[in-house]
Structure 1
Amino acid sequence: MATTSGMTPGQVVQHYLDTFFKKDVERTLDCLTDDVVWKVQGAPDVPTIGVQLGKEEVRAWMTLFPANFEPLAFHIERIFESGDQAVITGHFKHRILSTGKEFESDFAAICSVRDGKVSTYNFIEDSYGLWRAFQPDSVRQQIA
Protein backbone atom coordinates (compact mmCIF):
# COMPACT_ATOMS: atom_id res chain seq x y z
CA MET A 1 0.00 0.00 0.00
CA ALA A 2 1.22 3.51 -0.78
CA THR A 3 2.10 5.47 2.32
CA THR A 4 -0.05 8.52 2.93
CA SER A 5 1.96 9.95 5.83
CA GLY A 6 3.53 12.81 3.85
CA MET A 7 0.45 13.64 1.80
CA THR A 8 -1.72 16.74 2.10
CA PRO A 9 -5.43 16.17 2.85
CA GLY A 10 -6.29 16.69 -0.83
CA GLN A 11 -3.71 14.11 -1.90
CA VAL A 12 -5.07 11.63 0.67
CA VAL A 13 -8.59 12.02 -0.72
CA GLN A 14 -7.35 11.79 -4.31
CA HIS A 15 -5.49 8.58 -3.38
CA TYR A 16 -8.72 7.20 -1.86
CA LEU A 17 -10.67 7.97 -5.05
CA ASP A 18 -7.94 6.50 -7.29
CA THR A 19 -7.93 3.32 -5.19
CA PHE A 20 -11.75 3.13 -5.22
CA PHE A 21 -11.89 3.19 -9.02
CA LYS A 22 -9.33 0.34 -9.18
CA LYS A 23 -12.07 -1.78 -7.53
CA ASP A 24 -9.80 -3.07 -4.75
CA VAL A 25 -12.15 -2.96 -1.77
CA GLU A 26 -9.54 -3.84 0.87
CA ARG A 27 -7.04 -1.21 -0.32
CA THR A 28 -9.86 1.33 -0.55
CA LEU A 29 -10.99 0.59 3.00
CA ASP A 30 -7.35 1.01 4.14
CA CYS A 31 -7.68 4.66 3.05
CA LEU A 32 -10.41 5.26 5.67
CA THR A 33 -10.29 5.59 9.45
CA ASP A 34 -12.05 2.84 11.40
CA ASP A 35 -14.68 5.36 12.56
CA VAL A 36 -15.21 7.05 9.18
CA VAL A 37 -18.46 8.97 8.67
CA TRP A 38 -19.21 8.44 4.98
CA LYS A 39 -22.19 10.07 3.28
CA VAL A 40 -23.77 10.32 -0.17
CA GLN A 41 -26.72 12.70 -0.24
CA GLY A 42 -29.91 12.20 -2.24
CA ALA A 43 -33.19 10.33 -2.55
CA PRO A 44 -33.39 7.44 -0.07
CA ASP A 45 -34.82 5.04 -2.68
CA VAL A 46 -31.56 5.16 -4.69
CA PRO A 47 -29.58 2.16 -3.37
CA THR A 48 -26.25 3.98 -2.88
CA ILE A 49 -27.60 7.00 -0.97
CA GLY A 50 -27.20 7.38 2.77
CA VAL A 51 -24.83 7.60 5.70
CA GLN A 52 -22.37 4.81 6.47
CA LEU A 53 -20.69 4.74 9.89
CA GLY A 54 -17.40 2.86 10.04
CA LYS A 55 -15.48 0.70 7.60
CA GLU A 56 -17.85 -2.27 7.73
CA GLU A 57 -20.83 -0.19 6.63
CA VAL A 58 -18.71 1.35 3.84
CA ARG A 59 -17.66 -2.20 2.83
CA ALA A 60 -21.35 -3.09 2.42
CA TRP A 61 -21.90 0.05 0.34
CA MET A 62 -18.99 -0.92 -1.89
CA THR A 63 -20.89 -4.02 -3.00
CA LEU A 64 -23.84 -1.80 -4.04
CA PHE A 65 -21.80 0.49 -6.29
CA PRO A 66 -20.65 -2.07 -8.92
CA ALA A 67 -24.06 -3.75 -8.81
CA ASN A 68 -25.71 -0.46 -9.82
CA PHE A 69 -23.14 1.62 -11.74
CA GLU A 70 -20.72 1.26 -14.61
CA PRO A 71 -18.24 4.14 -14.32
CA LEU A 72 -17.62 5.78 -17.69
CA ALA A 73 -15.61 8.86 -16.68
CA PHE A 74 -14.40 10.53 -13.48
CA HIS A 75 -12.37 13.73 -13.54
CA ILE A 76 -11.09 15.78 -10.63
CA GLU A 77 -11.00 19.45 -11.59
CA ARG A 78 -9.99 21.25 -8.40
CA ILE A 79 -8.75 20.49 -4.90
CA PHE A 80 -9.18 23.02 -2.09
CA GLU A 81 -7.48 22.47 1.26
CA SER A 82 -7.74 24.07 4.68
CA GLY A 83 -6.14 22.47 7.71
CA ASP A 84 -7.19 18.82 7.86
CA GLN A 85 -10.01 19.30 5.34
CA ALA A 86 -10.18 19.01 1.56
CA VAL A 87 -12.88 19.73 -0.98
CA ILE A 88 -12.53 18.05 -4.34
CA THR A 89 -14.68 19.11 -7.27
CA GLY A 90 -15.06 17.51 -10.64
CA HIS A 91 -17.32 15.75 -13.10
CA PHE A 92 -18.31 12.12 -13.65
CA LYS A 93 -20.40 9.95 -15.94
CA HIS A 94 -21.86 6.54 -15.06
CA ARG A 95 -24.26 4.10 -16.66
CA ILE A 96 -27.10 2.92 -14.39
CA LEU A 97 -27.15 -0.84 -14.86
CA SER A 98 -30.84 -1.37 -14.03
CA THR A 99 -32.05 1.12 -16.66
CA GLY A 100 -29.12 1.39 -19.09
CA LYS A 101 -29.32 5.18 -18.78
CA GLU A 102 -26.23 7.35 -18.58
CA PHE A 103 -25.99 9.83 -15.73
CA GLU A 104 -23.44 12.59 -15.50
CA SER A 105 -22.98 15.29 -12.93
CA ASP A 106 -20.61 17.77 -11.41
CA PHE A 107 -19.65 16.72 -7.89
CA ALA A 108 -18.03 17.93 -4.71
CA ALA A 109 -16.48 15.66 -2.10
CA ILE A 110 -16.10 17.40 1.27
CA CYS A 111 -13.66 15.47 3.43
CA SER A 112 -11.63 15.50 6.62
CA VAL A 113 -8.36 13.63 7.03
CA ARG A 114 -6.87 12.22 10.23
CA ASP A 115 -3.54 10.36 10.47
CA GLY A 116 -3.25 10.09 6.68
CA LYS A 117 -6.73 8.57 6.23
CA VAL A 118 -10.14 9.92 5.25
CA SER A 119 -12.22 10.35 8.43
CA THR A 120 -15.28 12.08 6.94
CA TYR A 121 -16.53 11.86 3.36
CA ASN A 122 -19.54 13.78 2.06
CA PHE A 123 -20.25 13.32 -1.67
CA ILE A 124 -22.62 15.82 -3.28
CA GLU A 125 -23.95 15.36 -6.82
CA ASP A 126 -27.08 16.09 -8.87
CA SER A 127 -29.18 13.83 -6.67
CA TYR A 128 -32.41 14.56 -8.56
CA GLY A 129 -30.74 13.67 -11.86
CA LEU A 130 -29.43 10.46 -10.28
CA TRP A 131 -32.88 9.55 -8.98
CA ARG A 132 -34.36 10.16 -12.45
CA ALA A 133 -31.70 7.94 -14.07
CA PHE A 134 -32.84 5.09 -11.81
CA GLN A 135 -36.47 5.46 -12.93
CA PRO A 136 -37.85 3.28 -15.74
CA ASP A 137 -38.89 5.20 -18.87
CA SER A 138 -42.60 5.02 -17.93
CA VAL A 139 -41.96 6.80 -14.61
CA ARG A 140 -39.59 9.33 -16.20
CA GLN A 141 -42.28 10.35 -18.74
CA GLN A 142 -44.79 10.98 -15.93
CA ILE A 143 -42.42 13.29 -14.01
CA ALA A 144 -40.86 15.08 -16.99
Structure 2
Amino acid sequence: MTDKKERTAGQVVQHYLDTFFRKDVDKTLDCLTDDVVWKVQGAADVPTIGIRHGKDEIRAWMARFPDHFEPLDFHVERILENGDTAVLTGHFRHRILSTGKTFASDFAAICSVRDGKVSAYNFIEDSYGLWKAFQPD
Protein backbone atom coordinates (compact mmCIF):
# COMPACT_ATOMS: atom_id res chain seq x y z
CA MET A 1 0.00 0.00 0.00
CA THR A 2 1.09 3.59 -0.46
CA ASP A 3 2.68 5.67 2.27
CA LYS A 4 0.03 6.49 4.90
CA LYS A 5 0.15 10.22 4.07
CA GLU A 6 -0.86 9.36 0.49
CA ARG A 7 -3.84 7.19 1.46
CA THR A 8 -7.34 8.53 0.94
CA ALA A 9 -9.52 9.01 4.02
CA GLY A 10 -11.40 5.81 3.18
CA GLN A 11 -8.18 3.82 2.87
CA VAL A 12 -6.94 5.14 6.22
CA VAL A 13 -10.18 4.11 7.95
CA GLN A 14 -10.26 0.70 6.23
CA HIS A 15 -6.66 0.09 7.37
CA TYR A 16 -7.67 1.03 10.93
CA LEU A 17 -10.56 -1.46 10.87
CA ASP A 18 -8.41 -4.22 9.37
CA THR A 19 -5.83 -3.64 12.12
CA PHE A 20 -8.50 -3.57 14.85
CA PHE A 21 -9.92 -6.94 13.79
CA ARG A 22 -6.41 -8.47 13.84
CA LYS A 23 -6.54 -7.68 17.59
CA ASP A 24 -3.16 -5.92 17.69
CA VAL A 25 -3.92 -3.07 20.09
CA ASP A 26 -0.61 -1.23 19.67
CA LYS A 27 -0.79 -1.26 15.86
CA THR A 28 -4.46 -0.25 16.03
CA LEU A 29 -3.61 2.71 18.27
CA ASP A 30 -0.89 3.71 15.78
CA CYS A 31 -3.74 4.26 13.28
CA LEU A 32 -5.18 7.03 15.52
CA THR A 33 -4.06 10.58 16.23
CA ASP A 34 -2.99 11.29 19.81
CA ASP A 35 -6.05 13.55 20.28
CA VAL A 36 -8.57 11.23 18.63
CA VAL A 37 -12.24 11.63 19.60
CA TRP A 38 -14.10 8.34 19.52
CA LYS A 39 -17.89 8.22 19.86
CA VAL A 40 -20.26 5.24 19.98
CA GLN A 41 -23.85 6.30 20.50
CA GLY A 42 -26.41 4.46 22.61
CA ALA A 43 -27.56 3.56 26.12
CA ALA A 44 -25.07 4.52 28.82
CA ASP A 45 -25.43 1.14 30.59
CA VAL A 46 -23.94 -0.72 27.59
CA PRO A 47 -20.21 -0.99 28.43
CA THR A 48 -18.83 0.10 25.03
CA ILE A 49 -21.03 3.17 24.55
CA GLY A 50 -19.82 6.71 25.07
CA ILE A 51 -17.30 9.32 24.04
CA ARG A 52 -13.60 8.71 24.55
CA HIS A 53 -10.72 11.11 24.06
CA GLY A 54 -7.15 10.12 23.24
CA LYS A 55 -5.32 6.85 22.88
CA ASP A 56 -5.34 5.92 26.59
CA GLU A 57 -9.15 5.94 26.73
CA ILE A 58 -9.33 4.00 23.44
CA ARG A 59 -6.83 1.44 24.77
CA ALA A 60 -9.08 0.90 27.81
CA TRP A 61 -12.11 0.49 25.50
CA MET A 62 -10.22 -2.07 23.40
CA ALA A 63 -9.28 -4.00 26.53
CA ARG A 64 -12.97 -4.24 27.54
CA PHE A 65 -14.39 -5.06 24.09
CA PRO A 66 -13.47 -8.81 24.12
CA ASP A 67 -14.96 -9.13 27.62
CA HIS A 68 -18.38 -8.33 26.16
CA PHE A 69 -18.37 -9.21 22.44
CA GLU A 70 -17.43 -12.06 20.18
CA PRO A 71 -17.29 -10.59 16.66
CA LEU A 72 -18.94 -12.99 14.20
CA ASP A 73 -19.07 -10.83 11.08
CA PHE A 74 -18.15 -7.28 10.08
CA HIS A 75 -18.59 -6.16 6.51
CA VAL A 76 -18.03 -2.71 5.02
CA GLU A 77 -20.42 -2.33 2.07
CA ARG A 78 -19.42 1.14 0.89
CA ILE A 79 -17.03 3.94 1.64
CA LEU A 80 -17.97 7.50 0.72
CA GLU A 81 -15.19 10.07 0.80
CA ASN A 82 -14.99 13.84 0.77
CA GLY A 83 -11.53 15.26 1.44
CA ASP A 84 -10.49 14.28 4.96
CA THR A 85 -13.83 12.65 5.78
CA ALA A 86 -14.93 9.07 5.14
CA VAL A 87 -18.37 7.59 5.79
CA LEU A 88 -18.52 3.82 5.91
CA THR A 89 -21.70 1.80 5.83
CA GLY A 90 -22.08 -1.89 6.37
CA HIS A 91 -23.36 -4.67 8.55
CA PHE A 92 -22.01 -6.59 11.54
CA ARG A 93 -22.96 -9.42 13.85
CA HIS A 94 -21.62 -10.07 17.37
CA ARG A 95 -22.39 -12.49 20.18
CA ILE A 96 -22.96 -10.76 23.52
CA LEU A 97 -20.96 -12.87 25.97
CA SER A 98 -22.97 -12.04 29.11
CA THR A 99 -26.29 -13.14 27.58
CA GLY A 100 -25.27 -15.44 24.72
CA LYS A 101 -27.53 -13.43 22.40
CA THR A 102 -26.51 -12.60 18.85
CA PHE A 103 -26.79 -8.95 17.87
CA ALA A 104 -26.74 -7.83 14.24
CA SER A 105 -27.05 -4.31 12.88
CA ASP A 106 -26.42 -2.11 9.92
CA PHE A 107 -23.94 0.63 10.79
CA ALA A 108 -22.49 3.91 9.64
CA ALA A 109 -19.13 5.22 10.76
CA ILE A 110 -18.33 8.88 10.18
CA CYS A 111 -14.60 9.41 10.38
CA SER A 112 -12.17 12.30 10.03
CA VAL A 113 -8.57 11.77 8.99
CA ARG A 114 -5.54 13.95 9.68
CA ASP A 115 -1.92 13.23 8.74
CA GLY A 116 -2.78 9.71 7.60
CA LYS A 117 -4.49 8.73 10.85
CA VAL A 118 -8.06 8.61 12.15
CA SER A 119 -8.71 11.74 14.23
CA ALA A 120 -12.45 11.31 14.86
CA TYR A 121 -14.64 8.21 14.83
CA ASN A 122 -18.43 8.27 15.24
CA PHE A 123 -20.08 4.82 15.08
CA ILE A 124 -23.85 4.64 14.63
CA GLU A 125 -25.71 1.34 15.03
CA ASP A 126 -29.04 -0.02 16.23
CA SER A 127 -28.42 1.17 19.78
CA TYR A 128 -31.80 -0.05 21.06
CA GLY A 129 -31.18 -3.51 19.61
CA LEU A 130 -27.75 -3.55 21.23
CA TRP A 131 -29.20 -2.53 24.59
CA LYS A 132 -31.83 -5.29 24.31
CA ALA A 133 -29.13 -7.87 23.51
CA PHE A 134 -27.45 -7.00 26.83
CA GLN A 135 -30.68 -7.58 28.79
CA PRO A 136 -31.15 -11.01 30.39
CA ASP A 137 -34.30 -12.88 29.41
- TM-score normalised over the length of structure 2: 0.97
2:27 corresponding residue in structure 1: 27
Do residues 123 (structure 1) and 115 (structure 2) align?
no
Instruction: Kindly report which structure 2 residues correspond to 1:89-108, keeping only aligned pairs within 5 A, or say none.
Output: 89-108=89-108
Inter-partner Cα distance in structure 2 for 1:38 and 1:91: 19
Deviation at 1:3, TM superposition (A): 4.3
Instruction: Kindly report which structure 2 residues correspond to 1:35-54, keeping only aligned pairs within 5 A, or say none.
Output: 35-54=35-54
Deviation at 1:6, TM superposition (A): 1.6
Which amino acid is the alignment partner of residue 129 of structure 1? Answer: G
Q: Give 3-state SS (helix, strand or coil) of 1:63's partner.
A: helix
1:91–1:10 distance in 2 versus 1, CA, 3 Å:
same
Moved over 6 A (4+): none
> When the two structures are aligned, how many residues end up with a matched partner?
136
Inter-partner Cα distance in structure 1 for 2:91 and 2:74: 6
Inter-partner Cα distance in structure 2 for 1:120 and 1:88: 13
Deviation at 1:5, TM superposition (A): 1.9
Inter-partner Cα distance in structure 2 for 1:52 and 1:63: 14
Inter-partner Cα distance in structure 2 for 1:63 and 1:4: 26
Which amino acid is the alignment partner of residue 84 of structure 1? Answer: D
Give the gaps of 5 or more residues in structure 1: 138-144
Query: What percentage of aligned pairs have identical amino acids?
Result: 77
Q: CA RMSD in A?
A: 0.9
Which amino acid is the alignment partner of residue 86 of structure 1? Answer: A
Structure with larger Rg: 1
Deviation at 1:64, TM superposition (A): 1.2
1:87 corresponding residue in structure 2: 87
Give the gaps of 5 or more residues in structure 2: none
1:71 corresponding residue in structure 2: 71
Which amino acid is the alignment partner of residue 17 of structure 1? Answer: L
Which amino acid is the alignment partner of residue 115 of structure 1? Answer: D
Do residues 15 (structure 1) and 15 (structure 2) align?
yes
2:55 corresponding residue in structure 1: 55
- TM-score normalised over the length of structure 1: 0.93
C-alpha distance after superposition, 1:7-45 (max 9, x if no partner):
100000000001000000000000000000001000000
